[in-house]
Structure formats: structure tokens, C-alpha cells
Amino acid sequence: DVTEKGLWQYNVDYINEYGYKTPGLEVFRRLLQMLTNDQINYGMKHFLGNMDVEAISKGEHPDFSMIGKMGMLIRGALNKKLADGLRYTTQQNRWLTEHYRNFPTTPEGFEDWHKKLLKTMNDSYEHLAKWEN
């Protein structure tokens, strides 16, 4: 069966195995492109551990939700911007991963699912734009 409905399971399998990782990494990539080299270097030194780098290399999104506000205050405003951006990408990644876990099992639910995805991605890009240097 080579109809859309007949082939739909291939979409479901791809999303469940790999595809669910890509939107969160796209939001993270957009944040990185808005940062200066100094901010990226600082983040690598103070926010990313070996496990985070390993997660990124596997196509997974690191978890920056534990970046403390007290530590940000001590490190100054430049790095607060970075920490806020990293926390935001973690928050968005959680939502996006959950959304991808709810990928429709038939083509009939795809249009609504896709609209929600596009809205969230566009909202994320607009939100990240405030961190642009």
C-alpha cells in the first residue's frame, strides 16, 4: 500500500527514533547564532559539562534548567542573558519533545499538529530575537 495512509507509519517511526530531537536543537542553534564568541566560550566553561557536550553530539538537547539565579547575579548581566537563553531553550525543548511524542498516528491529525508546531517554533524565534546582539 503506497498511499499516504499506508506509508504513514514510516513518518511515525522516524519521529519516534530521531525526528523528535530536531526542533529543540533548531531552537538551540538559533540561540547560539545570536551569541558572541565570548558568550559561547563563557557558556562552554561555566554552563556545559561533559555530559551536555555528549548529549549535543548525540543530537539531544542539554538541560539548562538548573542554572541558578544567584550564580547569574554574581556573573553579571552579560552572562544572565546567556543563562536566560539557555533556560528558555530547555523549556522549549521539553514542550517540543512532548509535542513530537504526540505525533499523529494517521495523516488526519497532521494538519492541526503541524500548525501547533509552526506556531511554537515561530514564537520561539521571536522570543530569542530579543537576545540578538
Min mean pLDDT across 10-19, 31-40, 72-81, 103-112 is at 72-81
Torsion angle in degrees (nearest 10) through CA of 120, 109, 60, 25? -30
Range of the domain at 111: 4-131
Phi/psi region, residue 3 (left: phi>0; alpha: psi -120 to 50; beta: rest), is beta
Position 31 confidence tier, pLDDT thresholds 50, 70, 90? confident
Instruction: Report how many domains make up the chain.
Output: 1
Contacts 24+ apart (CB under 8 A), 25-28: 25/56, 25/59, 25/61, 26/121, 27/89, 27/92, 27/93, 27/96, 27/121, 27/124, 27/125, 27/128, 28/61, 28/89, 28/93
Q: What is the pLDDT of residue 41?
A: 83
pTM listed for this prediction: 0.76
